[in-house]
Amino acid sequence: MIGQHTLKEWFLATRPWSFPASSMPVFVTMMFLWSQGYEVAWWLGLMALVNIILVHAAGNVWSDYHDYKRGVDAADTYGVRILTDKQFTPKEMLSLSVALQVAAVLMGLLMVYLTGITLLWFGLAGIALSLLYPPLKYVALGDLVIMACYALLPMLGTTFICTGYVVPDVLWLAVPVGSITVAILHANNTRDIETDGRAKIHTFAMLTGRKAAIRTYLFELILPYCWLLVVSLQGIVSPWTLITFITLPIALGNCKKMLSYKTEGLQAIAALDEATAKLQLAFSLTLAIGLIVKALT
């Protein structure tokens, strides 16, 4: 028990169901480096994994705090209800976010000391985008921030942490992994078009309209499979990465849920963001398995 809340309650306030979006890119990157024959500093990779989860948790709480203060999250909206249901006070959420961010920064500085100054620039960019995410999300830039924070930066940064070099080839895998991650946010924003409009913010889903937003979500979920098929046929990545096609039925199920909005309404996609996070976990784990098989053969 810490204050009025248990450790479990503090943990749940960070939205742990979303952590695959940040942890899987780091894990996939480590498996990619191993499959390519690099000597991997596994303990530093583990530190990177813990660190990005701390950054993600801090960012989640920070975003929820600002969404509540801005009126984006209200009593009649879907999604996070930590503040709207008075489970935590805004002050408690702000304090939690700051504490997590401080922990992430201290760990990040330790990793800079252990690896090199190059990592500092990745860290500064990640922290800046995390802190700026709420205002950027309100002007339809949230999708781009998510792609940068939970695909491009962590995957490139992890290559440096684990090997001492930045390995640009990992970006071939950042596209499919990042596409599903962006789809988590896009599912949320597509569901919340009306309530976000009431709060006078602008998301990408709002700018396109729900019909185009639905098509965008379908594209974001199908792109990873098409991408891996093409780059594997080109010999850019191992054919073993096509093990990810095991998860295609999950992706198609999520697409069906999104399409059912037309007949069933918002309730059909109320939890689609969480379902997309589960797809991210399944896709990334099977991608990592494919890379492990490549490393062992």
The predicted structure's pLDDT at residue 266:
82
**Axis crossing angle, helix 171-191 with helix 248-259, rounded to the nearest 10:** 30
The predicted structure's pLDDT at residue 268:
87
The predicted structure's pLDDT at residue 69:
84
54-106 pLDDT, tens digit each: 999 999 999 889 888 887 776 666 666 788 778 889 999 999 999 999 999 99
Asked if pLDDT for residue 1 goes beyond 80, the answer is no
CB 18 within 8 Å of CB 278: no
How far is residue 264's CA from residue 28's CA, in Å, rounded to a whole number? 36
DSSP-assigned beta bridge partners for residue 202: 139
Q: Can you give the three-state secondary structure of 191-244, one letter per residue?
A: HCHHHHHHCCCECHHHHHCHHHHHHHHHHHHHHHHHHHHHHHHCCCCCHHHHHH
Report the 10 Å Cβ neighbour count for 84: 16
Q: Where are the domains of the chain?
A: 9-296
245-272 pLDDT, tens digit each: 999 999 999 999 999 988 888 888 989 9
How far is residue 63's CA from residue 46's CA, in Å, rounded to a whole number? 26
Q: What CATH topology corresponds to 9-296?
A: Farnesyl Diphosphate Synthase (1.10.600)
168-187 pLDDT, tens digit each: 999 999 999 999 999 999 99
The predicted structure's pLDDT at residue 108:
95
The predicted structure's pLDDT at residue 74:
66
The average confidence (pLDDT) of the chain is 92
The predicted structure's pLDDT at residue 79:
64
Residue 167, helix vs strand vs coil: coil
How far is residue 64's CA from residue 285's CA, in Å, rounded to a whole number? 28
122-138 pLDDT, tens digit each: 999 988 998 899 899 99
pTM above 0.85, yes or no: yes
